[in-house]
Structures are given as C-alpha cells and as structure tokens.
C-alpha cells in the first residue's frame, strides 16, 4: 500500500474519532490490506492525535482472550497506543456519550513499568522485574468501523479499537500476585455479569505483556519506563450506555468502578 493511501485511511479514522461518525470497514475497500499496512495506518492516526496535543502514556494489548476473540471474530492479539486524554481513574465519570461511538467495557489488569522492556526475548519473569505496580482497570473499547464489522487489519488500523480507560486508585506489588489464578468479577448496575481469571489472557497477563514487548521490539518500539500497559481483557466485552455503573474486582489487586455519562 502506498504511503499516500496509508495517510488517507489514517486521516479517515482520525476524522471518525473526532466527529463520532464511523467509516466503512477498511478491509472491504482494500482487500489486500496487510497487518503491516494496518500498523502504519495506526501510526499515522497516532501522529494526528499527537498533533492535536495528546501525549502517549502507555500501550494496550487487545484481543487476548478466547471469549473476546470469538465475540469479534478476530483470532490473534494486537496492540494500540494510550494517550493522556483517554486516561481516567476509579470513581470518575467517563464521557462515552460525548466521545465514543459504540462503546464496550472490559475488565483488565494494568501494569505500570519502572524500567523499559524491549524485545526480542522478553519473558514473563522480565515483566515482573520491570513492573513498578499493578492495578485493576476498566478499558472501554470503541470502534470507528461501522457496526464493529472488523477483521484483524481493521482493528489494528483503528488503534486496536481503543477508547478510554480507568485505573484503580490502589496499586499492588506484582511479586505478590498470582497472575494465572487471580479471579475477576465484573458488576454492571449492581449485578454480577461476568467472571474470569488471569489464565484467560494467553495463559497469564504476564505472557501478554511479554508478547507486546517482543512484538513491538520487531518494530523498534520499547515499552517505556513510566508507561501504563493494559494487558488484555479477562472477561467478555459488555456494551455500555450513559447512566450505567460498573465495578471490577480482581483477587489481590483491589477494585475499580466507573459511571458512564
């Protein structure tokens, strides 16, 4: 794909992000679109956002659990960028009615790094050693692709279908967490709607972060010290609307709750 076409598609997604008007699937219009093309589009979209004054504060891994892969019919992980305008904290009101198009919330574990990780060769043990703390988190995914009709290239180009995220106000030592067996409970409007465990995401959230460090390493991009890394959902995606309230609890990592406006 030519650089001009990559820029054009990235500009389309940027306009969709700002106007909340979705676009038709990129793969329907560009059947030869490759994963490398999609990441180039994603990078152009990020550059447009940085030009708007946003600042990168981390990275996210998407589509790590089988339940999410089946829901989206996307069967491999991907990654996207987190910016300061996407970041919120437990107890905040998240303005999905003003900013997002077709939001879905998911419970995750967030890692805050104290030193950089850059593949190849990063292991789960390396992830623990490089992590300052972990915390419960909500990610609210969104798609600028009409009706979530996505293939892997569409979601990659669209910054891994990212929207907003909300971090717990409590932080925990990663060396004291069992990332494989830790349980997650998600409530919506006072009712439990899903449960999961760390093993749901590539066997462990640590494996997810290692995958991200190694995958980005192939592009010469490190996970930087101080960044927030979202390690992927442990539960199904849940559509949300203004007025909804959600809470996530994770064994050994406390809880986070948000209200949507």
Report pLDDT for 192: 98
Report pLDDT for 236: 87
Report pLDDT for 234: 85
Candidate CATH numbers 3.40.50.150, 3.40.630.30, 3.30.1380.20, 3.90.850.10; the one for domain 55-260 = 3.90.850.10
Report pLDDT for 220: 86
Buried residues in 79-92 as b, exposed as e (16+ CB within 10 A): bbbbbeebbbebeb
Give domain limits for the chain: 55-260
> What is the DSSP secondary-structure string of 92-150?
PEE-HHHH-SS-EEEEEEEEEESS-B--SS--HHHHHHHEEEEEEEEEEE--SBGGG--
Report pLDDT for 63: 63
- Looking at beta carbons, which pairs linking 247-250 to residues 24 or more positions away fall under 8 Å? 247/186, 247/187, 248/107, 248/136, 248/137, 248/138, 248/184, 248/185, 248/186, 248/187, 249/136, 249/184, 249/185, 250/107, 250/109, 250/136, 250/182, 250/183, 250/184
Q: Over the stretch 15-38, which tens digit does the pLDDT of each residue have?
A: 999 999 999 999 999 999 998 999
Report pLDDT for 34: 94
Report pLDDT for 67: 55
CB count within 10 Å of CB 175 equals: 9
> What is the residue whose two structure tokens read 């106000």?
169
Residues in the chain: 261
| Ranges under pLDDT 50 in the chain | none
Report pLDDT for 70: 61
Strands (E) in 20-92, as ranges, are 56-62, 78-83, 87-89
Quote the CA–CA distance of 127 and 122 in Å, as a whole number. 7
> What is the residue whose two structure tokens read 């998407």?
62
Residues in CB range of 15: below 8 A, 6 or more apart: 21
Report pLDDT for 198: 86
């Amino acid at each position: 794909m030519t650089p001009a076409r990559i820029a054009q598609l990235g500009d389309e997604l940027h306009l969709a992000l700002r106007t909340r008007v979705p676009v038709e699937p990129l793969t329907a219009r560009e059947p030869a679109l490759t994963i490398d093309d999609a990441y180039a589009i994603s990078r152009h979209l990020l550059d447009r956002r940085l030009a708007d004054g946003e600042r990168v504060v981390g990275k996210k891994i998407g589509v790590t659990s089988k339940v999410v892969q089946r829901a989206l019919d996307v069967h491999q992980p991907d990654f996207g960028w987190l910016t300061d305008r996407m970041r919120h904290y437990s107890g905040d009101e998240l303005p999905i009615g003003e900013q997002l198009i077709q939001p879905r919330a998911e419970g995750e574990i967030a890692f805050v790094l104290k030193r950089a990780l850059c593949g190849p060769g990063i292991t789960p043990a390396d992830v623990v050693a490089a992590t300052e703390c972990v915390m419960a988190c909500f990610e609210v995914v969104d798609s600028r692709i009409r009706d979530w009709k996505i293939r892997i290239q569409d979601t990659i180009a669209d910054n891994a279908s990212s929207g907003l995220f909300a971090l717990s106000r409590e932080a925990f030592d990663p060396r004291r967490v069992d990332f494989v067996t830790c349980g997650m409970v998600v409530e919506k409007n006072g009712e439990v709607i899903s449960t999961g465990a760390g093993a749901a995401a590539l066997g462990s959230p640590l494996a997810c972060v290692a995958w991200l460090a190694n995958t980005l390493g192939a592009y010469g991009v490190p996970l930087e010290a101080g960044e927030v890394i979202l390690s992927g959902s442990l539960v199904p995606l849940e559509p949300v609307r203004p007025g909804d309230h959600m809470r996530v609890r994770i064994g050994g990592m406390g809880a986070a709750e948000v209200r949507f406006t």
